[in-house]
Amino acid sequence: MMQRLAHIDESELQKIWLNQSFTSKLKTLSGDNISVLDPGTLNSDSAGPDFHNARIRIGNLVYVGDIEIDKDYSSWKSHGHNIDVKHNKVILHISLTNKNNQHYVYTKDGRKVPNICLSQFMEKEIFEKIIADRKEINKTTKGKLKCASNSAAVEYHVKKQFLAELGIERISKKSNRIYHRLTELAYLNELNIKEPVIKYDLHPDFENKKFTHEDFKEKKLWQQLFYELLFEALGYTKNKSIMLKLAQAADINLLNKLDSDKNFNLTVESVLFNISGLMPEVRNLPKEEVSDYTMALFKRWEDIAKLYDGEKYDETDWHFFRTRPQNFPTIRITGGAKYIEMILKENMIGNIIKKIEEIRSTKVLISSLRSLMIIKAKGFWKTHYVFDQSAKQEIKYFVGISRADEIIINVVIPFFMVYFDVFGNKVLSKKVLSIYNSYDQRFSNRIIEDVAQSIQTPDLLKKSIYAQGMIQLFRSYCSKDKCLQCRIGKVVFT
């Protein structure tokens, strides 16, 4: 059922809330009864909470404020609501799914906001009908936006300018999210504690703390941040969350304790595969069924395990089904292990800073960054997609050119914008932004292609700032039926 719920859009969840289409009495995840006195007014802007001026009774108290609706609980943070002042007046966070039944989220000012999980108060048949209706709509509008038939009415330069602005908005959001994670890492480091299992357990004082560049001088903060961002990007869509968790479990502090005299890359792979839960049960297999490589990982972990007392994951936490073999978690983790070696042993962050400082030509700089992020396949995983079962053909890259481009756009550029901003180097920060403005990416996706086709801007879909603008356009306007708030939609529909 969870997989099927993924097909429901936020706009449909908004309708459910507006119409109060519930089949049982609402309760927060902490058990308090909820009475909806006024569901509020739907927000017509692309930014901010979904509903304003709602009135609800939680327990014996009446609250007046905003309502935010997300498809999943984790979206509160991944969408940056926790660092957005526009969400400071939210009185209730609603999500369709909440796997771990988390009771609260926190606003930027540190206030605790209760959650409700929508799927607990709806009949299965209602969701099935929404999904069926969505499929029927998709049959007739597949690959096209609502404005597709009339988008030519909008002048090309207007569309181009709007996409550029949205592209800047998107990279700014990524940078804000990265900076916020940096402050979390600095705060945890200051308190000398491990990563909380539940991120929202950070003390409310954290939200009020004023940070300066002095708080971010430790090299390991930037290494851990870069490591997390790279692994999250390597996880692609299906394994994004678990890859991030793996990077937080097998953190820089642990990796720095490992014996550097041995094969460091093998050591890192042993740590990652054992903590991830993807490592085979070597003890239970006949020796002839275990490769030398797998046995080497197993033996290395026996030496390391005593250093680790954190969380371990399970194979069931990872998605292989309907994933291209090239995107299997095993391959991505292997590529990630090489990135870790580059971060810790080859001063990867310092090397990128040097390239940005010294290479004057934007074109040459882009080529140099691309070459750095591409990881060629070698060793055991050149001929395997999974443990102890050979692939039908050799694997050429752990991280190919398309994924390298994606990582540069989504990780490298916003990361170094934050880095240079933190330390007050506005010149290099602007230089990083100029890379974004000039980047011709080698990757695309369905959203970019559909938007480019619908608004008749196919010549822009390979230029990163416009391609990212297309994603922002779709997510902020098209997918939320906010056509009349969109600069293109206003012309087309009025």
Identify the pLDDT of residue 163: 97
| Nearest to 36, CA basis, from 49, 48, 18 | 18
Mean of the pLDDT values across residues 467-475?
Answer: 94
Identify the pLDDT of residue 131: 58
Identify the pLDDT of residue 127: 62
Using pLDDT thresholds of 50, 70 and 90, give the confidence band for residue 426. very high
Pairing of strands 375-376, 397-399: antiparallel
Residue pair 163/487 in contact by the 8 Å Cβ criterion: no
Identify the pLDDT of residue 367: 96
Count the Cβ atoms, other than its own, within 10 Å of residue 459.
11
Which stretch of 2-16, 218-232, 424-438 has the lowest confidence by average pLDDT? 2-16
Residue pair 20/51 in contact by the 8 Å Cβ criterion: no
Identify the pLDDT of residue 188: 87
Query: What is the three-class DSSP state of 205?
Result: helix
Integer Cα distance of 252 and 226 in angstroms: 11
DSSP one-letter code for 59 = T
Integer Cα distance of 26 and 29 in angstroms: 10
Model confidence pLDDT, tens digit, residues 72-123? 888 888 788 888 888 999 999 998 888 888 899 999 888 999 999 887 887 6
Identify the pLDDT of residue 137: 45
pLDDT(4) > 60: no
Integer Cα distance of 164 and 176 in angstroms: 18
Model confidence pLDDT, tens digit, residues 180-214? 999 999 988 887 766 654 444 566 677 677 888 89
Residue pair 74/96 in contact by the 8 Å Cβ criterion: no
Integer Cα distance of 390 and 383 in angstroms: 6
Q: Alpha-carbon dihedral of residues 312, 314, 315, 318, nearest 10 degrees?
A: -80
Model confidence pLDDT, tens digit, residues 120-137? 887 666 666 665 655 544
Residue pair 466/472 in contact by the 8 Å Cβ criterion: no
DSSP one-letter code for 81 = G
Token duo for residue 190:
């200051």
Model confidence pLDDT, tens digit, residues 395-405? 999 999 999 99
Apex 284 CA angle, 281 and 285, nearest 5: 90
Q: Which conformational region is residue 53 in: left (phi greater than 0), alpha (psi within -120 to 50 degrees), or beta?
A: left
| Nearest to 92, CA basis, from 16, 28, 167 | 28
The rounded mean pLDDT for the chain is 87
pTM of the model: 0.74
Residue pair 444/461 in contact by the 8 Å Cβ criterion: yes
pLDDT(321) > 90: no
| Nearest to 163, CA basis, from 489, 494, 488, 491 | 488
Identify the pLDDT of residue 329: 94
Query: What is the three-class DSSP state of 54?
Result: strand
Using pLDDT thresholds of 50, 70 and 90, give the confidence band for residue 1. very low
Query: What is the three-class DSSP state of 424?
Result: coil
Model confidence pLDDT, tens digit, residues 363-372? 999 999 999 9
